Amino acid sequence: MTYCVGMRLNRGLVFMSDTRTNAGVDNFASTRKMFHWCVPGERAITVMTAGNLATTQAMISLLEERFKASEDRDPSILTQPTMFQVARLVGATLKEVIAYSAPSGPDSADQFSASVIVGGQIKGGQPTIFLVYPEGNFIEISEETPFFQIGEAKYGKPILVRAYDAEMPFEDVLKLLLVSFDSTVKSNLSVGLPFDVHVYEEEAFHCDRTHRIEQDDPVYNEIASKWGDALKTAFDLLPDYKV
């Protein structure tokens, strides 16, 4: 499995993904699920993937035009005029890969299925995020739905629903996402460190605020270990329930 979150805030966008991939419990490895395409000053696009690894790797390779010789590559994701068109391109590519792997119809398509979060900003447009389905269609983030999750999303959802605030500074958002990821890691073996993070500030058109959070990251470990005590403090603020 996988856990990825893309979140929109008033200051910009934040993306976080885990890196564990597994087939059963005795075959697991670490793999990158977050990818960037940037033209400094003009566009910054981030893609995160969940699902069948052969499908998502093929999709990323196609988006990077690895079917062409290096010198002929001019990935069309870098020339789409809007984020909407970027989402359409990602959706069409994903659908094509799944159809190629699963010629025998809808049932086998499930096996090769994948979901994608694609977000960013292109000059002249707003920063936005899309959730792309294996069928190639997609939905856009909104004020009422300010974040998308893919993969093992249930464990980490309640804290996001509760604590999300569009006005949050990026440091608080990272804390929030780390608590959500930590809750998932503690509940499900198929999600694991390291985590990849990308913070995108509105109108910055850069991809440089990316970071990998390793197993021994001191701040992450402090957040993970202090969260239990912090929750106890939070409980004390609630009224007692007597039966």
Q: Please, what is the minimum distance in Å from the beta carbon of residue 13 to a copy of itself? A: 13
x/- binding map, residues 33-72, to a copy of itself, per CB under 8 A?
A: ----------------------------------------
Beta-carbon contacts of 125 under 8 Å, excluding residues fewer than 6 positions away, are: 82, 83
| Binding flag, residue 166, a copy of itself (CB under 8 A) | no
Binders of a copy of itself among residues 168 to 187 (CB under 8 A) are: 170-172, 174-176, 178-179, 183-184, 186-187
Do 127 and 120 form a contact (C-beta atoms < 8 A)?
Answer: yes
| Binding flag, residue 167, a copy of itself (CB under 8 A) | no
What is the 3-state secondary structure of 167-223? CCCHHHHHHHHHHHHHHHHHHCCCCCCCEEEEEEECCCCCCCCEEEECCCCHHHHHH
Cα 69 from Cα 72, distance rounded (Å):
5
Cα 46 from Cα 38, distance rounded (Å):
9
Cα 148 from Cα 118, distance rounded (Å):
10
- Alpha-carbon distances of 74 from 61, 80, 82, 127, 138, rounded to whole Å: 13, 11, 17, 23, 25
Binders of a copy of itself among residues 106 to 165 (CB under 8 A) are: 154-159, 161-163
Q: Please, what is the minimum distance in Å from the beta carbon of residue 74 to a copy of itself? A: 30
Q: Residues in contact with a copy of itself, total (CB under 8 A)?
A: 47
Do 95 and 136 form a contact (C-beta atoms < 8 A)?
Answer: yes
| Binding flag, residue 228, a copy of itself (CB under 8 A) | yes
Torsion sign, CA atoms 173, 19, 91, 40: positive
Q: Please, what is the minimum distance in Å from the beta carbon of residue 107 to a copy of itself? A: 15
Q: Please, what is the minimum distance in Å from the beta carbon of residue 111 to a copy of itself? A: 19
Which segment (50-58, 89-97, 103-111, 218-226) binds a copy of itself by CB under 8 A? 218-226
x/- binding map, residues 198-217, to a copy of itself, per CB under 8 A?
A: -x---------xxx------
Do 58 and 98 form a contact (C-beta atoms < 8 A)?
Answer: no
**Residues making contact with a copy of itself (CB under 8 A):** 154-159, 161-163, 170-172, 174-176, 178-179, 183-184, 186-187, 197, 199, 209-211, 219-220, 222-223, 226-235, 237-243
